[in-house]
Amino acid sequence: MPEFLPTAPYRGTRDFLPAEMSVRTQVFGKLYEVIERYGFQRYDGPILEPAEIYEAKSGEEIANQQLYTLTDRGGRRLALRPEMTPSVARMIAGNAGALQFPVRWYSHPNCHRYERPQRGRVREHWQINVDIFGSTSPNTEIEIFELIHDMLSGLGASEDMFVVRANDRNLLSSALTDVVGVTEQQLPEVFALVDRWEKYERDKLAASAEEIGLSGKQFDKLGEVLTAGTALLDELPEHVKESSNLVKVLGSSAADLVRFEPMIVRGLAYYTSTVFEVFDTSPENNRALFGGGAYSDLASMFTSQQIPGFGFGMGDVTLMDFLGTHDLLPKPKAEVDVVVIPVTEDLGDAARTVATALRRSGVRTSVPLEFRKLGKELTRADKAGARVVVIVGREDWDAGSVTVRSLATRDQRVVTVDSAPSTVAELLAD
């Protein structure tokens, strides 16, 4: 017996058969439309980058545990991109002299991380990245928050299905040092603890706090700070609040777009002030869907020019989980709209002539590749989801006509070949 290679994809990656690909194409197409209505332009970049750009900016977890690396024949150490932000920072820095800032860019790359596959996490995912570069105005953040709401609304989500939870790392740093009494040296470890706050039991959090060097009183105060909401702002110094774009957003007409949550910190090392995560509010899928934030100088690896940015990455796995949870996934499109069927094999050229006219009118049309009896082809057309068939018979064709039949209503008409596209369009519109 021959030994065949496995047909399953590599663990943590996925095959997308046509029906699922149809759903994904519809979802992403709607998102592209909304994004481009805001004036964003699409870009792309290489899937391979020097490994050091991720080790410098993507955070310890990605750099040390999740990076797929390789060494090429020239001895260069490369990595499959785990995210797009360092790549776009390189691109922005390399072309800064030719760009008119601020710029609005978006992309939809596939990314790779060596993670344990589970619900919401795989090893290869597709992520829509949306960023504004070159502005520190609070209007930048307002626009991104507006865009997020419009993107999810464009997929059919109502405002009660999700919430944008936002924080400012500088506000949290002030709260930790001025209110909780955390030292500057303890801040990185406490930030990591805050990032785990909703994921672990209180006893485990308390043990971690003790290892960091926090007292029981400080741990209790930390819990109060993280759940204080906007009341926390009253305890912070004015100069800290005045420098926060998020505070300005909360004081504007856009305040209802976000909810201030002191425990949102995000793990990536390049965020410097505002950070946010979009959460599903359904009890069946109560988790973060995607997130982003502000970075004051991400391009510093590539240029001395300071280029701030604000944006987010929306992964396909959690997005599809969200749409499935709320019954918002579109139905797969049919294979074709119309099938042109020759009654006899010698009418194959005639059928292709009719199909060409239909395709040029914008109708998705197929012709059987192998000749079969009319009844079998009608059955195949119905299973393929076709709504109309055009039957090319000898007598009709010799008379300059074809038979157009609706598979939904069984309405059938004999029409001239030239009028077939308009007749088909009429039946498809019913």
Q: How far apart are alpha carbons 85 and 400 in whole angstroms? A: 60
- Is 127 annotated among the ligand-binding residues? yes
Q: How far apart are alpha carbons 11 and 8 in whole angstroms? A: 8
- Is 61 annotated among the ligand-binding residues? no
- Is 160 annotated among the ligand-binding residues? no
Report the DSSP pairing between strands 365-366 and 338-342.
Answer: parallel
- Is 106 annotated among the ligand-binding residues? no
Q: How far apart are alpha carbons 21 and 27 in whole angstroms? A: 10
What is the sign, positive or negative, of the torsion defined by CA atoms of 332, 335, 339, 344?
Answer: negative
**Token digits of residue 377:** 């082809």
Peptide bond into 109 cis (omega under 30): no
- Name the strand (E) or helix (H) holding 195: helix 187-195
- Is 270 annotated among the ligand-binding residues? yes
Determine contact, residues 114/66, Cβ cutoff 8 Å: yes
- Is 266 annotated among the ligand-binding residues? yes
Helix (H, G, I), strand (E, B) or coil at 164: strand
**Token digits of residue 260:** 């201030």
Peptide bond into 283 cis (omega under 30): no
Q: How far apart are alpha carbons 11 and 241 in whole angstroms? A: 47
C-alpha 295: how far from its chain's center?
A: 20
- Taking CA atoms, 318 is separated from 116, 160, 325, in Å, by 15, 18, 10
Q: How far apart are alpha carbons 153 and 149 in whole angstroms? A: 6
Determine contact, residues 57/81, Cβ cutoff 8 Å: no
Q: Which residues are annotated as a binding site?
A: 83-85, 113, 127, 131, 266, 270-271
Q: Which residues are annotated as a binding site for L-histidine?
A: 83-85, 113, 127, 131, 266, 270-271
